Homo-oligomer: A and B are copies of this chain.
Amino acid sequence: MDVQRLELLRELAERHSVTAVARATHRTPSAVSQQLKVLEREAGLPLTERSGRGLVLTDAGRALARSATDVAVALERATAVWDEFRNRVTGDVSLVTFPTAGQMLLPGVLQQLAEHAGLVVKCTDMDPELSDFPALTSDFDIVLAHSMRGQVPWGGRGLTVVPLMTEPLDVGLPTNHRLASRASVGAADVVGETWIGVPDGYPFERIVHEIEQQGGGRVHVSQRFADMRLVEAFIMAGLGIALVPRYTSGGGQPGRLVLKPLRGVDAERQIVALMRPDRAERLAVRTVIDALRTRAARVQAEHTS
């Protein structure tokens, strides 16, 4: 049995289309189709079924794809072994981040990684609301994702999850706001305010609901933005208040925006790295992950002191 073919099956399980697999593996669809056919002939039972214009895996195909992951992991681990022997981190690592995490972590990480001459890290950013984090792992080695505490929407898919940090979400206020002198604010203090929100499906959303429940009222959301820079600009202009991740804020002019911890509400987001388990084994990837973790720890330490 051939590993390359198994790999194709696994890609098919993730991408649901021969053409997509072909694109991802730099082949023509015909080549992929032929190899899958060979695999089926070897297996002696159908692994795929046509479903409309695409095709889906049979139960057997899915089972085989699952075990193909273990093979891939073992293989990557083997190549990592010899990378360790050479003691030189080499290769390309692709990474997607949502903007705030990238701003907070990536510059420091890349500076730290400059010591590895052969390591090339290619970073991209992507709006979190547009992106299905788990799905991105097909195309990127490392996916920086965020979720609320306890909420783990990427479990069960067999992805490797590395927690990087927990970031508190504060209430951002203009300096001339009536609450700006407080040390912290409660749900009841802010429930009546005009809010700047985030698009639907965003993790912040849930906290806003919690504030409504605890504060006993309805939050009025005047605008919805994905970009934090924009949110902060609106706050500073006195057009509303918003939830702002504590470590990420501060692009704006100092002295025009203040952050107040939110009492009694579980307002944190978890920042994690998501990876396909085989990719997580690569030495280059592990090196980047290590850098991310130390950088995240440093950011957190700087803010607590």
**Residues on A close to B: CB < 8 A?**
1, 3, 6, 43-45, 59-60, 63-64, 66-68, 70-71, 73-75, 77-79, 81-82, 85-86
Contacts and interface: CB of A to CB of B under 8 A. Distances in A.
Given A6-B78, A71-B71, 16 more contacts: A1-B78, A1-B79, A3-B3, A43-B82, A45-B82, A45-B85, A45-B86, A60-B85, A63-B85, A64-B81, A66-B81, A67-B74, A67-B78, A71-B75, A71-B78, A74-B74
B44 A67 contact: no
A44 B74 contact: no
Nearest to A39: B82
Most interface-central of A44, A85, A86 (chain B CB within 10 A): A85
B86 A44 contact: yes
A21 to B, nearest CB: 18
A64 B81 CA distance: 7
B81 A67 contact: yes
Contacts of A86: 43-45
A239 B3 CA distance: 62
25 contacts: A1-B78, A1-B79, A3-B3, A6-B78, A43-B82, A43-B86, A44-B86, A45-B82, A45-B85, A59-B85, A60-B82, A60-B85, A63-B81, A63-B82, A63-B85, A64-B78, A67-B74, A67-B78, A67-B81, A70-B74, A70-B77, A70-B78, A71-B71, A71-B75, A71-B78
